[in-house]
């Protein structure tokens, strides 16, 4: 099939779904991942909700990851107060959006710059494929497996050529 790559995923929902990665989306996806990776390597903190979210991003070279604090938003803001930039990548569901807003408001009150634009571009690139950051692991693995992207982001999983079919 030319122009569209397909894969099945069902980790997020009880019903198996089919998603399509449009080749025209690859520029957006790789661009936003490149920008996120560079920002994290420059020292920007990347805030995620849980260990699985951190693992998904860590597997593609995103550094400087912080988990949402179980001790509260204020405690987290105090921990991140010295950072020049914070990127909040909570899930794209209503709970994740609410957490994002609370953390953003708290960090702003501490004088920390929250990069909302990068979150929005990340959301635009990946929301068609997953509502959770942890669910992106399936997307990353599929795209790596397909050989469509991630040459510059490193190998996510070792796959032999004859296993691709």
Residue 10 inside a domain? The answer is no
Q: Could you tell me if 48 and 140 are in contact, meaning their C-beta atoms sit under 8 angstroms apart?
A: no
Residue 3 inside a domain? The answer is no
What is the pLDDT, as a whole number, of residue 137? 79
Residue 2 inside a domain? The answer is no
**Domain that includes residue 45, residue range:** 23-149
Tens digit of each residue's pLDDT (9 = 90 or more) over 48-84: 999 999 998 988 889 999 999 878 888 989 999 989 9
- Give me the number of domains the chain comprises: 1
Residue 68 inside a domain? The answer is yes
Residue 11 inside a domain? The answer is no
**Local confidence pLDDT in tens for the 165 residues of the chain:** 333 334 433 344 433 444 566 777 778 888 898 899 999 999 999 999 999 999 989 888 899 999 998 788 889 899 999 899 999 999 999 999 999 999 999 999 999 999 999 999 999 988 888 888 988 877 777 666 655 555 555 534 333 333 333
What is the pLDDT, as a whole number, of residue 59? 83
Residue 70 inside a domain? The answer is yes
Strands 17-22 and 4-9: what pairing?
antiparallel
Supply the CATH number for residue 101's domain.
3.40.1360.10
- 89 exposed, middle or buried (CB, 10 Å; 0-12, 13-18, 19+)? buried
């Amino acid at each position: 099939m030319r122009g569209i790559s397909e894969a099945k995923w069902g980790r997020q929902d009880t019903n198996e779904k089919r998603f399509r990665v449009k080749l025209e989306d690859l520029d957006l996806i790789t661009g936003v991942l490149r920008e996120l990776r560079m920002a994290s390597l420059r020292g920007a903190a990347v805030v995620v909700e849980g260990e699985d979210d951190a693992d998904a991003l860590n597997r593609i070279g995103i550094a400087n990851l912080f988990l949402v604090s179980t001790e509260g938003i204020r405690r987290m803001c105090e921990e991140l107060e010295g950072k020049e930039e914070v990127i909040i990548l909570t899930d794209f569901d209503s709970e994740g959006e609410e957490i994002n807003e609370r953390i953003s408001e708290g960090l702003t009150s501490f004088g920390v710059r929250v990069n909302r634009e990068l979150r929005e571009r990340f959301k635009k690139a990946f929301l068609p494929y997953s509502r959770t950051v942890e669910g992106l692991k399936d997307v990353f693995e599929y795209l790596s497996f397909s050989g469509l992207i991630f040459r510059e982001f490193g190998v996510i999983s070792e796959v032999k050529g004859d296993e691709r079919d």
